[in-house]
C-alpha cells in the first residue's frame, strides 16, 4: 500500500515538472516573437536610465517638447543648455533635441480671445498629451501659462531662476507711460468722452496702448485716465510689428519676454546706447513676415511692479514631466532653482484658493528677504473703478500658508457679492471680445 502511494507521488511529480517546462518554453517562444499582448510600461522605474546608459555604450537622446514661437524656442534652449551643462559635469554625452508642437493657443492667438477656449490650458494641452504618450521626455513653459490643475500624470518638476518680473512699456512716440498719459491737445481736453459703463475714453481723442491682458487693461484704466486701451493679439514679434506699423501708440508686454528674445545683455546695450544719443547701433528683430524691425527706434521702459502688477508666476520658466518618468524627474532636480520653486508654489497656491483659473484681473508677485516672504496681490474690476490689494507676510518655514491666507484676506476685503460680480463681468468681457 505504501509502495503504491509512493509510486503515484513520483508519477504526479514527473507530470507537473514536464508541464511547467512546457509552459516556460511556450512563454519564451511568445516573448521572443513579440506575441505578448501586454506592452512593458515605458515609464517603469529604471527603464529610461538603462536606455540612456546602456552597457554597450550606445548613447540616446532626451526630447524636449516645445511650442515653435520665437519666445518659446528661446526658453526651451535655456533649459536645454542647463541639461547639457549638467551632463557635461557628469562626463556623459547625451543628445538633447526639440520636438516642435503646435498648440490650440498658437492656432487661435491672432484671431480670438484666449479665455474663450479654456484660458491658460490652451498653450499646454497638446504638450501634455505628448508627455502622457511618451513621445517627449519633458516640456518647457512660461509658468504663467500653466493651468493650476494639471492632468493626473503630469507634474511640475523644475523651475529656472526667476527672470525680471516687471512689465515693460514700449513706444516709438513716447518715452514713458506717464509721458503718454499727460499728452493733451486742445481737441483732447475739450472733446474727451467717457463711457461710464466701462471707463473707456473715445479712442479717436486719446493715445492708444495695446494689450490683450485683462489684468493690464484694468490696471491701466484705474491708474491712467488719459489712455485708451486697445485689444491687441499675437506673439511678441507680432505685437511689436503692429506697434511699428502704427496700429497702436504703445504696448505693454512682459519685460522678461524681451530679455529672452534678444538676450538681457543685448537689451542693456540697447538701452545704454539710447541714453547716449550720439551713439547709434541698429538692433534688428525678425518679425513673422520676415521683415526686420530696428528696436533702436523703440523706447523701452521697465514699469515699477506697483505701477502695473505683473501676472502671478511671471518671469519663471517651468518644466513639466511625466510622474512615472523617474529618471527625468531626478535629472530636473539638478537644474531646479529652489527659490523660484517656493515663489511658484506660493503664487499658484493663491490662484488655486482664489479660483484663479477663471480669467479675472489678478496681479501679484512674491518678494523674499532673508527668512521673510511677502506676497503682494491685486484684483481690479474690469472697468478700472476699484482695486483691492493685500500684502501677506510670513516666514520661510510657513511659506505654504501664505497663498491660502492671502486669498482668504482679499476675498474678505472684496466681499462675496462684489467678488462674484468681478468674476462674472470678466467672463462677459471675454465673450464680447471674441
CATH number reported for the structural domain that contains residue 150 in this entry: 3.40.190.10
Query: Cβ(131)–Cβ(150) under 8 Å?
Result: no
Q: SS3 of 33, please?
A: coil
Q: Which CATH number characterizes residue 345's domain?
A: 3.30.160.40
For residues 207-234, give the mean pLDDT: 93
pLDDT in tens, 308-336: 999 999 999 999 999 999 999 999 999 99
- H helix or E strand, kind and range, residue 20: helix 2-32
Give residue 40's pLDDT: 44
Question: Could you give the CA distance from residue 380 to residue 197 in angstroms, rounded to a whole number?
Answer: 15
Cβ count within 10 A of residue 61:
12
Same domain, 157 and 190: no
Domain contains 309:
no
Apex 237 CA angle, 68 and 223, nearest 5: 120
Residues 143 and 175 in one domain: no
Q: Does 160 have pLDDT greater than 90?
A: yes
Q: Which residue would you say has higher pLDDT here, 318 or 272? A: 318
321, 425: one domain: no
Pairwise pLDDT comparison (409 vs 231), residue with the higher score: 409
pLDDT at 401: 98
Residue with cell 462677459: 428
pLDDT at 394 over 50: yes
Residue with cell 516687471: 166
Judgement on whether residues 101 and 175 belong to the same structural domain of the protein: no
Q: Is the predicted pLDDT of residue 198 greater than 60, yes or no?
A: no
Distance CA 233, CA 242 (A): 10
Task: Give 234's pLDDT tier (boundaries 50, 70, 90).
Answer: confident
Distance CA 98, CA 81 (A): 12
> What is the C-alpha to C-alpha distance for residues 3 and 11, in angstroms, rounded to an integer?
12
58 and 24 part of one domain: yes
Mark whether 323 and 362 lie in a shared domain: no
106 and 179 share one domain: no
> Total domain count for the chain?
3
What's phi and psi for 286, nearest 5 deg?
-75, 135
Q: Is residue 9 in some structural domain?
A: no
- Tell me whether residue 151 is in a domain: yes
Q: Is residue 13 included in any domain, yes or no?
A: no
Residues 86 and 215 in one domain: no
pLDDT: is 404 or 105 the higher one?
Answer: 404
Shared domain check, 349 and 287: no
Q: Mean pLDDT of all residues in the chain?
A: 82
Give me the numbers of helices (H) and strands (E) for the chain, helices first please: 15, 17
**Comparing 284 with 241, which gets the higher pLDDT?**
241
The per-residue pLDDT for 431 is 78
Mean pLDDT of 185-214: 59
Residue carrying C-alpha cell 516672504? 373
For residue 13, pLDDT over 90 is answered with no
Measured in degrees and rounded to the nearest 5, phi and psi for residue 246 equal: 85, 15
The whole-number pLDDT of residue 10 equals 66
**Is there a single domain that holds both residue 110 and residue 182?**
no
With respect to residue 201, please indicate whether it lies within any of the assigned structural domains: yes
Q: Would you say residue 12 lies in a domain?
A: no
- b/e per residue, 329-346, with b = 16+ CB within 10 A? bebbeebbbeebbbbbbb
404 pLDDT band (50/70/90 cuts)?
A: very high
**Does some domain include residue 432?**
yes
Tell me the HSE value of 72 on the side-chain side, using a 13 A CA sphere.
22
Q: Are residues 180 and 55 in the same domain?
A: no
Please give the backbone phi and psi of residue 28, each rounded to the nearest 5 degrees, phi first.
-60, -45
Is 3 among the domain residues?
A: no
- Whether residues 260 and 197 fall in one domain: yes
The range of the structural domain enclosing residue 392 comes to 338-434
Hey, what's the cell of 393?
507676510
Assess whether pLDDT exceeds 90 at residue 357: no
Amino acid at each position: 500500500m505504501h509502495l503504491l502511494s509512493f509510486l503515484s507521488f513520483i508519477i504526479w511529480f514527473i507530470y507537473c515538472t514536464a508541464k511547467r517546462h512546457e509552459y516556460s518554453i511556450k512563454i519564451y517562444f511568445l516573448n521572443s516573437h513579440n506575441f505578448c499582448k501586454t506592452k512593458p510600461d515605458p515609464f517603469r522605474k529604471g527603464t529610461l536610465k538603462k536606455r540612456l546608459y546602456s552597457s554597450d555604450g550606445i548613447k540616446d537622446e532626451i526630447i524636449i517638447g516645445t511650442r515653435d514661437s520665437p519666445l518659446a524656442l528661446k526658453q526651451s534652449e535655456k533649459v536645454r543648455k542647463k541639461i547639457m551643462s549638467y551632463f557635461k559635469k557628469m562626463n556623459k554625452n547625451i543628445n538633447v533635441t526639440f520636438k516642435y508642437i503646435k498648440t490650440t493657443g498658437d492656432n487661435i492667438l491672432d484671431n480670438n480671445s484666449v479665455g474663450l477656449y479654456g484660458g491658460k490650458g490652451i498653450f499646454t494641452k497638446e504638450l501634455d498629451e505628448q508627455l502622457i504618450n511618451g513621445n517627449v521626455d519633458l516640456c518647457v513653459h512660461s509658468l504663467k501659462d500653466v493651468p493650476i490643475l494639471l492632468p493626473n500624470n503630469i507634474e511640475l518638476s523644475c523651475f529656472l531662476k526667476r527672470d525680471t518680473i516687471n512689465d515693460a512699456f514700449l513706444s516709438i512716440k513716447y518715452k514713458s507711460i506717464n509721458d503718454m498719459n499727460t499728452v493733451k491737445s486742445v481737441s483732447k481736453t475739450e472733446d474727451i468722452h467717457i463711457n461710464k459703463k466701462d471707463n473707456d475714453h473715445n479712442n479717436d481723442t486719446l493715445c492708444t496702448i495695446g494689450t490683450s491682458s485683462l489684468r493690464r487693461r484694468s490696471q491701466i484704466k484705474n491708474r491712467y485716465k488719459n489712455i485708451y486701451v486697445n485689444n491687441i493679439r499675437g506673439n511678441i514679434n507680432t505685437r511689436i510689428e503692429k506697434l511699428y506699423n502704427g496700429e497702436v501708440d504703445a504696448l505693454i508686454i512682459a519685460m522678461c519676454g524681451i530679455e529672452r528674445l534678444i538676450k538681457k545683455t543685448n537689451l542693456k546695450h540697447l538701452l545704454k546706447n539710447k541714453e547716449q544719443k550720439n551713439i547709434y547701433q541698429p538692433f534688428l528683430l525678425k518679425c513673422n513676415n520676415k521683415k526686420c524691425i530696428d528696436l533702436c527706434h523703440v523706447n523701452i521702459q521697465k514699469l515699477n511692479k506697483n505701477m502695473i502688477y505683473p501676472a502671478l508666476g511671471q518671469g519663471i520658466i517651468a518644466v513639466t514631466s511625466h510622474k512615472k518618468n523617474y529618471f527625468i524627474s531626478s535629472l530636473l532636480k539638478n537644474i531646479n532653482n529652489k527659490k523660484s520653486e517656493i515663489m511658484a508654489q506660493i503664487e499658484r497656491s493663491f490662484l488655486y484658493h482664489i479660483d484663479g483659473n477663471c480669467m479675472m484681473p489678478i496681479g501679484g508677485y512674491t518678494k523674499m528677504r532673508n527668512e521673510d516672504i511677502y506676497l503682494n496681490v491685486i484684483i481690479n474690476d474690469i472697468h478700472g473703478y476699484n482695486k483691492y490689494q493685500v500684502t501677506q507676510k510670513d516666514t520661510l518655514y510657513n511659506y505654504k500658508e501664505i497663498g491660502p491666507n492671502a486669498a482668504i484676506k482679499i476675498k474678505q476685503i472684496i466681499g462675496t457679492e462684489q467678488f462674484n460680480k468681478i468674476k462674472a463681468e470678466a467672463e462677459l468681457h471675454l465673450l464680447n471680445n471674441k
